[in-house]
C-alpha cells in the first residue's frame, strides 16, 4: 500500500519534474505562477527542493489543483 500523501487530495494532475539547478527551479516556479496561478491553492511541489539541489539534480512531484491544465506541459517544464 502506498503511503498517504495529503498533497494528493484534490489534485487534478500529478507529475514528476527533474530540477537541474536553482535557476531551473525558479524558471519552473515562474512558469507555474504565470500559467496556473500563484499560491498553494493552485499548485504545490513536493518537499523542499532547494535544500537538496546541492547534491545534484533531483526529481519532485508537482500537484496541480486547477481544472484545465494540459498535462503535456509537464514535458515543457523539464526542458525550460
Beta-bridge partners for 59: 18
DSSP string, 9-61: TT-SEEEEEEE-SHHHHHHHHHHHHHHT-SSTTTEEESS-HHHHGGGS-EEEE
Domain residue limits, the chain? 6-79
User: What pLDDT, on a 0 to 100 scale, did the predictor assign at position 4?
Assistant: 67
Whether the CA torsion 47, 34, 72, 6 is positive or negative: it is: positive
pTM of structure: 0.86
- pLDDT (tens, 9 = 90+) of the chain, 80 residues, equals 455 677 788 889 999 999 999 999 999 999 999 999 998 899 999 988 988 888 889 999 999 999 988 888 888 888 88
Amino acid at each position: 500500500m502506498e503511503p498517504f500523501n495529503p498533497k494528493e487530495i484534490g489534485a487534478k494532475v500529478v507529475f514528476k519534474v527533474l530540477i537541474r539547478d536553482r535557476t531551473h527551479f525558479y524558471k519552473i516556479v515562474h512558469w507555474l505562477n504565470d500559467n496556473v496561478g500563484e499560491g498553494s491553492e493552485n499548485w504545490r511541489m513536493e518537499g523542499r527542493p532547494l535544500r537538496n539541489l546541492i547534491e545534484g539534480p533531483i526529481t519532485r512531484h508537482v500537484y496541480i489543483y486547477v481544472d484545465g491544465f494540459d498535462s503535456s506541459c509537464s514535458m515543457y517544464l523539464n526542458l525550460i
